[in-house]
Amino acid sequence: MDDKIKRVYIPMTETGFYILFCLQDEMHGYNILQQVLSMTGQEIKISPGTMYGSLSKMEKDGLIHFVREEDKRKIYKISELGQEILNIELKRIERLYRNSKGEKVNGQ
């Protein structure tokens, strides 16, 4: 994997994480925004400027790809590279979580 992409995206910003996580299913920006709002109990509300900027940047970097347009809304989905990055991040978050609970994580 491209080391530069890895450096830029890991660790991920909260916004970046939620967007990439949601795009494991096909969605447009406003869908993602609503999904994140509901899965975080209204705590994380991504604004449109932030959403648009993140989506364009992720598309440019090849983490997500454009699927189709529906009613002027662009629908995206995670790419193979994006999934790879997301998996690394998920592992990292899980380690953080387990450590925060006082658990020790065994190396593979």
Partner 1 sequence: MASNSKKQNYSKTVYRYFSLADFEQEQEYLRRQHQAGWKLEKIMYAGFYRFTRTEPEDVIYQLDFNDDNTMDKEDYIQLFSDCGWEYLWDYSNWSYFRKPASQADDNEEIFSDVESKLQMMNRVFRSRMIPVAVIFLLIVLPQLMKKYNDVISTEIPTILDVLLFTIFLTASVIYTTMFVNFAIRYRKLRRRNIR
Give the interface with partner 1 as residue ranges (CB under 8 A): 13-15, 28-30, 33, 45-54, 56-57, 69, 71-74
CB of residue 52 vs partner 1: minimum separation in angstroms?
6
CB of 98 to partner 1, least distance (A): 26
Give the N- to C-terminal CA distance of the chain in Å, as an integer: 20
CA distance 60 to 73: 18
* Residue linked to tokens 């400027």: 49
Is the Cβ of residue 32 or residue 86 nearer to partner 1 in the bound state?
32
Residues 6+ positions from 83 with CB-CB distance below 8 Å: 24
Q: How far is the CB of 28 from partner 1 (least distance, A)?
A: 8
Alpha-carbon distance values, 106 to 60, 95, 98, 99 (Å): 36, 10, 11, 11
Please, which residue, 55 or 78, has the CB nearer to partner 1?
Answer: 55
CB closer to partner 1, 53 vs 94: 53
Query: CB of 61: closest distance to partner 1 in angstroms?
Result: 13
